[in-house]
């Protein structure tokens, strides 16, 4: 079974999507080695690689409750490409959000499932993870840590479905186990620090 993992984050480097695919990689190892591709550049070879796969896993960030425009653009081309040569591929989504709650990702996964139906692909289901930047910042902390554990359990659940050729009954929407108040305090602090680094004052963040 050929499994291809695709990083669909628009970030050139340092994306959570890339990090989480590297964590998924050993869990979906079968007799053949899965590979991770980046969507930063796509040509005929890239599409050939996708079309010769049995399974594709798209990892991407949640942008405004939806998919990044670059990913949507890619999907439109992929759909055109599939019209010429339909393929029997199972698709899974792995989306992460800045907000803490996993359910923030539900519409983005629904959009990807609609794409699959339209393009004649099999929708295998998705994993929606909340608190992406927090989890990324804790990359060096073991998955056994209670705050991260539910996310790892979700990854294992997804990997089992992928390897066993199963379709998830429901999307897995996972919230890291961290009090919301603490998360919001840290997130707001980071948001303001990032703004300052980029020459913006705090009040400029709230301008309407």
Ligand X SMILES: Cc1cc2nc3c(=O)[nH]c(=O)nc-3n(C[C@H](O)[C@H](O)[C@H](O)COP(=O)(O)O)c2cc1C
Binding site for ligand X (CB under 6 A): 9, 11, 15-17, 61-65, 96-99, 104, 132-133
The Cα 61–Cα 87 span in angstroms is 26
Paired with 59 in beta bridges are 7, 94
For ligand X, give the closer residue by CB, 9 or 82.
9
- How many residues make up the chain in this entry? 208
Q: How far is the CB of 18 from ligand X (least distance, A)?
A: 7
**Cβ closer to ligand X: 17 or 159?**
17
Q: Given the complex with ligand X, which of 17 and 175 has the nearer CB atom?
A: 17
CB 54, min distance to ligand X, A: 25
In whole angstroms, how close is the CB of 15 to ligand X at the nearest point?
4
- Mention every residue, 6+ apart, whose C-beta is less than 8 A from residue 71: 8, 10, 39, 58, 60
- Cβ nearer to ligand X, comparing 82 with 158: 158
> Which residues contact residue 163 at a Cβ distance below 8 angstroms, ignoring those fewer than 6 apart?
1, 28, 30
Min dist CB 184 to ligand X, Å, is: 12
CA distance 74 to 68: 10
Nearer CB in complex with ligand X: 64/83: 64
Using DSSP's 3-state secondary structure scheme, residue 76 falls into: helix
Smallest gap from residue 151 Cβ to ligand X (A): 13
Q: Which is nearer to ligand X, 11 or 117 (CB)?
A: 11
Orientation of helix 16-24 relative to helix 149-163, angle to 10°: 60
- The per-residue b/e assignment along 131-144, b for 16 or more CB within 10 angstroms, e otherwise, is bbbbbbebeeeeee
Q: Do 72 and 10 contact (CB within 8 A), yes or no?
A: no
To the nearest whole angstrom, how small is the minimum distance from the Cβ of residue 24 to ligand X?
13
């Amino acid at each position: 079974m050929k499994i291809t993992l695709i990083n669909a984050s628009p970030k050139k480097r340092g994306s959570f999507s890339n990090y989480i695919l590297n964590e998924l990689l050993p869990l979906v190892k079968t007799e053949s080695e899965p590979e991770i591709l980046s969507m930063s550049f796509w040509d005929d070879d890239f599409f050939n690689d996708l079309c010769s796969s049995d399974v594709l896993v798209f990892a991407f960030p949640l942008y405004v409750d939806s998919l990044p425009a670059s990913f949507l653009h890619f999907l439109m081309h992929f759909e055109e490409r599939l019209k010429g040569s339909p393929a029997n591929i199972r698709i899974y989504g792995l989306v992460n959000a800045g907000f803490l709650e996993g359910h923030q990702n539900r519409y983005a996964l629904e959009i990807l499932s609609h794409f699959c139906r339209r393009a004649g692909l099999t929708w295998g289901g998705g994993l929606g993870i909340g608190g992406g930047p927090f989890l990324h910042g804790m990359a060096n902390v073991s998955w056994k840590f209670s705050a991260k554990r539910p996310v790892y359990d979700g990854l294992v659940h997804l990997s089992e479905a992928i390897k066993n050729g199963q379709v998830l009954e429901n999307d897995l929407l996972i919230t890291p186990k961290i009090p919301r108040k603490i998360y919001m305090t840290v997130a707001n602090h980071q948001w303001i620090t990032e703004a300052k680094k980029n020459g913006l004052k705090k009040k400029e963040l709230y301008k309407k």
